[in-house]
Amino acid sequence: MDFRLYLITDRRLVDDLPAAIDRALSGVPRGAAAVQLREKDLGGRALHELAIAVRAACRRHGAPLLVNDRIDVALAAGADGVHLGEASVEVEDARRLGCALVGASCHDDASLARRGGADFLLFSPVFATPGKGAPRGLEALRAAAATHHRTFALGGVDRDNAAACVDAGAFGVAAIRAWLAAPDPAEATAALHDAVARAGAHPFHRRPAGEP
């Protein structure tokens, strides 16, 4: 798992979600970003059809595709994995059902402990963002990252504070509006990637010996 940029979708922000993803991924090196298809209001059939279209864009750029919560849709669409929300099934159940790559959301110490077996964690909200409650801040992110090496920061993350998240111990950053609502998704993802890469060059962020 080499991606350090996690692009989360909201199709309401764009006219053509697969095209926006294709454009966004063109702004970063191949395999540097992953995509989470997070369209909670769609039924199974519509979500599956969208996942197939998004998968094609992801494959062109070597980007893993994860489907939010819907293990059945992830497997049927040939996605690379599933992302588990706070109320989802356990990580072990997702793996038993055939999900090779499992991400999980966490907001507090209890969910950190519960989701420790995931390939990576999504910690939020780090900064203020609409509808997500009080921001947890960089110190809480630092504590989460100390629990799980591959912790991604979400919530109000943009090009201006992405490096601060990595400096606090995050493995990478996740975003929705910072790339989907940008005038140029490719330029936006490039800026996020560059901020993470610059901060991640510090020896503190090098992968521990023996870790895949």
| CATH code, 99 | 3.20.20.70
DSSP 21-44: HHHHHTTS-TTSEEEEE--TTS-H
* C-alpha Rg value of the chain to the nearest Å: 16
Widest CA span of the chain, in angstroms?
46
Lowest mean pLDDT among 55-59, 99-103, 137-141, 200-204: 200-204
What does the block give as tokens for 74? 């992830």
In a domain, 210, yes or no: no
Residue 119 domain-assigned (yes or no):
yes
Per-residue pLDDT of 3-27, as tens digits, reads: 999 999 999 999 999 999 999 999 9
Supply 65's token pair.
């595709």
Within its chain, how far is the Cα of 197 from the centroid? Answer: 16
d(CA 177, CA 88): 24
Helices marked H in the chain: 17-25, 44-60, 71-76, 91-96, 109-114, 137-147, 162-167, 177-180, 185-200
Q: Is residue 131 part of a domain?
A: yes
58 domain-assigned: yes
Domain count of the chain? 1
Task: List the domain range (segments joined by +) for residue 87.
Answer: 5-205
Q: How do residues 178-200 score in pLDDT, each as one tens digit?
A: 999 999 999 999 999 999 999 96
Tokens 């979400």: give the residue.
154
Residue 116 lies in a domain: yes
Distances (CA, A) of 96 to 51, 79, 101: 22, 16, 12
Is residue 148 scored above 70 in pLDDT?
A: yes
Is 165 within a domain?
Answer: yes
Q: Is residue 167 part of a domain?
A: yes
Q: Tell me the whole-structure pTM to 2 decimals.
A: 0.92
CA distance 90 to 68: 14
Residue 129: the pLDDT is: 85
In a domain, 211, yes or no: no
